[in-house]
Amino acid sequence: MNKTKGFLSLLLAGFLFGIFGVLVRILNSELSNYQQIFFRSVVGLILASLIIYILKRKISFKNISLINLFFFAISLPLSIIFYTLAILKTKIMLAVATLFLGSILFSLISGVLFFKEKITVKKILAILTSILALYYFTIPFSLTNINIGLIFGILSGFADALSNSFKKHLGGKADRFLLIAVQMVGTMAVSFILMSYTKTLTLPQISPYIFIIGLLFGLGLLVNNYLMLIGFGNFDLNLGTIILSSELLFASIFGYLFYKEIPTVNEVIGSGLIAFSVIIAHLNFKKNN
């Protein structure tokens, strides 16, 4: 296990997640939420399939049970669905915060139960720091703000932790691009059902600019999934999830660069705490003999 490789892969994945928000806004000008999810998943599937074909990767699920493969395929789209519902029912930042809160807590449980990961002082410090950071991102917050949106956010975090758990579990059992293709198929299937439900099956005529952005988004999605497969294969599941929360820091930076959205004082404090928790996650606490 190469922890430095895992850390850098997950940090770069967090960076890509941060810029995805900008791409979502651009695509949203001509495509609905589920249409753009379907579009970028199709691009991701085509690119993954091309890589498998050109590099002559082995297509085999010999060491993977169909149940595990099924839950791996649907866990990511389920996270997206619950996250979308959370955004519709509560504030966007609150939805993001509850997603990461759920993901961090459930990844801790999953790491201990299924991957025999230990609860260390470093892990406790990183978790507490990230939770404090999420609190600053959601200020002002009170118990009266609790609604169905927060529940959807927590469920989104649970599905996200499930997806990351399977990335860690399956990463060394099949070709990574094959696993990416499977998850793209799962995302396409779920988004197709939602497009049918919302009566948005007919894709509108999109401009060349939006088409190119969609292609770039699909490529970014492919790279992002590949990085997470490498990252979680070489890093602690719970601490890796905390590293991915760097998305909040990068999203604030890109929000300012592209839309001149000036972060509030609380968001600056939250971003600083996120950066600190990421540093803690990478520190190596060893006892001196």
**167-196: pLDDT as tens digits:** 999 988 889 999 999 999 999 999 999 899
Which residue range forms the structural domain that includes residue 36? Answer: 3-282
In a domain, 80, yes or no: yes
Q: Check residue 286 and give its pLDDT.
A: 53
| Distance (Å, whole) CA 207 – CA 212 | 9
In percent, the amount of the chain with pLDDT more than 90 equals 59
Q: Check residue 246 and give its pLDDT.
A: 93
Q: How confident is the model at residue 240 (pLDDT cuts 50, 70, 90)?
A: very high
In a domain, 289, yes or no: no
| Distance (Å, whole) CA 259 – CA 21 | 11
The DSSP-derived string for 92-141 is HHHHHHHHHHHHHHHHHHHHHHHS-----HHHHHHHHHHHHHHHHHH-S-
Q: Check residue 141 and give its pLDDT.
A: 65
Cβ contacts of 110 within 8 Å, gap of 6 or more: 161, 162, 165, 237
Number of domains in the chain: 1
Question: pLDDT tens digits, residue range 201-237?
Answer: 887 889 999 999 999 999 999 999 999 999 999 999 9
In a domain, 41, yes or no: yes
In a domain, 252, yes or no: yes
In a domain, 264, yes or no: yes
Average pLDDT of every residue of the chain? 89
Better-predicted residue by pLDDT, 76 or 94? 76
- Unique residue bearing structure tokens 């990068």: 250
In a domain, 288, yes or no: no
Q: Check residue 90 and give its pLDDT.
A: 76
Contact 244, 17 (CB under 8 A): yes
In a domain, 240, yes or no: yes
Buried b (16+ CB within 10 A) or exposed e, 235-269: bbbbbbbbbbbbbbbbbbebbeeeeeeebeeebeb
In a domain, 18, yes or no: yes
